[in-house]
Chains A and B, each alone.
Chain A
C-alpha cells in the first residue's frame, strides 16, 4: 500500500470510513463524506477542541480545501476527498504491553469520554482498547471516526466490547490473577462473556463485583439465542433519555476505580533497589555516570531495557529525553507507571520481555506490529540486564550484541557483570555453569565488532563495569 511517499497504516484497514496514513513524518486520516460532515460538526461545536484540551482525544485538525496541504495530499491520494491531521503518538503500544494500572486508566478514559460525549448528544460506536494510546503516561483516544450520533441514548452499543476489552481482563487479573498479557495474546479482541463466565464458574461469578457484568450478562446472552430480529428492531428505535446509560457507566467506572485502589503490587523485582548487591557508593557512581552521559549526549529518545522501577528512565526524562522503559516484571512496570503518572515524566513504561518481545498480530500479521518493528531509540540503557539475558533467557553474548545493534540508532550504555558477582551466582542457582568463558575481554571483543567503545567506568566495591558504546 505504498503510494509515493505516502505510507498507509495497516492497523486501520477495518474502518470502512477511511484509513490512517503517514506523510512526511506526520499522521493523517482520510474520511468519507458522511464521517467528515460529522467531524466538521464536532469541530464547529468546539467538541473536538475541548476534548483534546481535556486530554480525552488526540489533537486533530480538519484540513480544509483552502489549505495548500490539502492539494498536496490530494495529489498523492487523488481518490480521497477529506483529510484530518492527527498529533503524532511517540510510540504505538498495545494492551498486551500495558500493566494493570495502564489498562485500568485506559478503561477509565474510555468511560469518561463516552459519558462526556453522551452529555453533548454523541456516543462511541466501538470500544476497542486498540483505540487508546499512551503519550508517555497519559492515555488518549485516537479513533475520531468512532464518534457517532446515536439513535438510542439509554444503552451503549459498544458496552459488550468494552467488557471484553477492559472489564473482563481487569476482573480476571483482580480475582483470578490471570495476566492481562496472556488474555490479549490469547485472543486479540478479548474473551466472550461465556468464556469469562466459565473461568469464574457459577458460584464464582455470583460474587458482587461479577454478578451484573458476568453472571447476568452470561444468562441474558444464553437466553437470547432463539430470536434475532426483535432486538435489532428495538435498537433501531429512538430513545433520548441518557439516565440509564449514565447510571450503568458510572457504576462500572466506580468498580474500575475500586479495583485499582485495592491492588497491591507484589512482584519479585519491585524491591530490587533495596535488595540489590550495590553499596551506596557504587549506586551513586552509577547514577553520576548516567547523568554525565545524558548531559554530554542529550539524547532525544532512550530505551531502558530491564528498567525495574525506572530510576535511570526518570533520570533520562529529567534530562529531556523521551523514554520507553521496558521490563518483564509486571509489578515493576506498574509501579513505574504510577510514579511517572504522578511526576508527569516523559516515560512510557511497557510490560515487555526483551527476550521474547510482543509478536506481530492480527490479519496477515500486519494489523499489530511486533515490538522490534516499532521501537528504535537514540540510546539504549542495558543496566544490570546482560546476566539476566545470558543466564535466565540463555541468549548468547553475540545475539545480545546484535539485539542492541538493531534497537539503537547511536549509543548503548551497558553494565557488564563478572561471573563472581553475587547476583550472577544467585541467578545461576541450580543451573549448570556454562559461562566460564564469559569474561570482560570476550564481552569487549564481541561488542567491538559492532560498536566503538567510548568510555568505561568500574563501579567501586563491585564486580561491575559500565561501558558506553557508539554504533559503527
Chain B
C-alpha cells in the first residue's frame, strides 16, 4: 500500500514538476494542472486509505467488545 502511494506522488507530482517542461507561456499553467491532478489523485487515494483504516479500527474495536 505504501509503495503504491509513493508511486502516485513520484509519478504524479515530482515527475511532472522536474521532468516535464516547455518554454511556451502555457507551460506553467499545464504544470500547475498536473500538480492539481496529482493532489486530487493523492486525496482520492488517501480517502480510500483513511476509510479503510477507520473501518479496520472500528472492526477491531467492535471485535474487542
Collect the chain A residues with CB atoms within 8 Å of residue B30's CB. 155, 157, 159-160, 231, 235
Interface size on A, residues (CB 8 A): 37
Of all chain A residues, the one with the shortest Cβ separation from B18 is A223
Q: Which of B5-56 contact A (CB under 8 A)?
A: 16-17, 19-23, 25-37, 40-41, 44
Number of A-B residue pairs, CB cutoff 8 Å, is 94
Is B28's CB under 8 angstroms from A221's CB? Answer: yes
Collect the chain B residues with CB atoms within 8 Å of residue A230's CB. 19-21
Collect the chain B residues with CB atoms within 8 Å of residue A216's CB. 32, 35
Shortest A128–chain B CB gap in Å is 13
Q: Does A445 contact B (CB under 8 A)?
A: no
Collect the chain A residues with CB atoms within 8 Å of residue B37's CB. 154-155, 244
Bound state CA distance, A218 and B29, in angstroms? 9
Is B31's CB under 8 angstroms from A243's CB? Answer: no
Chain B proximity mask over A153-169: 1 for CB below 8 Å, otherwise 0: 01111011101100000
Interface size on B, residues (CB 8 A): 23
Is A155's CB under 8 angstroms from B28's CB? Answer: no
Known: A155-B33, A245-B33. A220 touches B22 (CB 8 A): no
Is B40's CB under 8 angstroms from A232's CB? Answer: no
Collect the chain A residues with CB atoms within 8 Å of residue B36's CB. 244, 247-248
Chain B proximity mask over A218-246: 1 for CB below 8 Å, otherwise 0: 11111111111011111100000001110
In this complex, which of B31, B32, B34, B44 has the most chain A Cβ atoms within 10 angstroms of its Cβ? Answer: B32
Chain B proximity mask over A454-465: 1 for CB below 8 Å, otherwise 0: 000000000000
Known: A155-B34, A220-B35, A247-B36. A193 touches B28 (CB 8 A): yes
Known: A154-B37, A220-B35. A227 touches B26 (CB 8 A): no
Shortest 6 CB-CB distances between A and B: which pairs? Answer: A221-B28, A160-B29, A160-B26, A224-B21, A244-B37, A231-B20
